[in-house]
Structure 1
């Protein structure tokens, strides 16, 4: 049983970390560029819809599961004396935590402000609402993407060193 845990947990950590990075990557390379081509009200309405839809159990498993699984890897590797793997998992955890900090410090407050603006069709100046949201949100999402991808690389390397 213990051997299975030492295989399943690191593989799960890599999978959920890949999904975590993939989510931000998808926003960086397709969702936001696509919405960038739309009108102000359409962009606002679409992002308000995305912000509501993303709060679901699948997202929660990935968003919470990635750092928890990677932390579990740090502990498992450290207890097993696999120092190099523990260090790489620790680096992955630092990267995931950086992505979480950016998410809660920058992206979520902008999502909340977008929601507080009200229904897109009723916003008096949708260009101003979009202007306060889009450029900063996108820039910081690119950073989340990069640190999440770094976390994935570190988690994969942790699987290969022992």
Structure 2
């Protein structure tokens, strides 16, 4: 049983680290990146966002972003096969990180694509920025909250695992 606790703990730590990276990224966007970009003129705002968007889709970011739910599922599977000491926390973490990813897929990726397509001409940079910013920023705040809540649930899971390992 000690081996299962070690596997569960290790998997939960890896899930916590990747989820922490996702939450940190989204919180930084909510509290620093987007407010900083918000001080720019319309064309500069859109150009800067395009460059950030192009840079962020890299393998390291994708490893954390997609690794998070995979590792949470792995930890949950190990826990369900054992004493189920952390299952409620892991289920909560999974639901919250899946919501985070769903918001990204449904809201952010389409509007990022809109900004990429329309930007070369910037025919009406003011209108494009308004359509982009008024949707992207509030939903990113929601992602920051859901991913941070997922991270918090994973911390609860780690505490439960630690107590059970005694």
Counterpart in 2 of 1:39?
41
Counterpart in 2 of 1:73?
75
Distance 1:118 1:36 in 2: 17
2:4 corresponds to 1:11:
no
Give the secondary-structure state (helix, strand or coil) at the position aligned to 2:119: coil
Q: Which runs of 5+ in 2 are unaligned?
A: none
How do 1:51-130 residues align onto structure 2 when only pairs under 5 Å count?
A: 51-83=53-85, 85-119=86-120, 122-130=121-129
TM-score of the superposed pair, with normalisation by structure 1: 0.94
Question: 1:3: how far off?
Answer: 5.2
Preserved contact between residue 90 and residue 154 of structure 2 (Cα < 8 Å): yes
Question: 1:125: how far off?
Answer: 1.0
Distance 2:108 2:80 in 1: 33
Offset from partner CA, 1:132-160 (integer Å, 9 cap, x none): 10121000000000010110000110111
Distance 1:149 1:111 in 2: 23
Question: 1:40: how far off?
Answer: 0.5
Question: 1:5: how far off?
Answer: 2.4
Q: Which runs of 5+ in 1 are unaligned?
A: none
Preserved contact between residue 74 and residue 87 of structure 1 (Cα < 8 Å): no
Offset from partner CA, 1:36-70 (integer Å, 9 cap, x none): 00010111001111111111111111110000001
TM-score of the superposed pair, with normalisation by structure 2: 0.91
Number of aligned residue pairs: give it.
159
Q: More deviation in 2-11 or 58-67?
A: 2-11
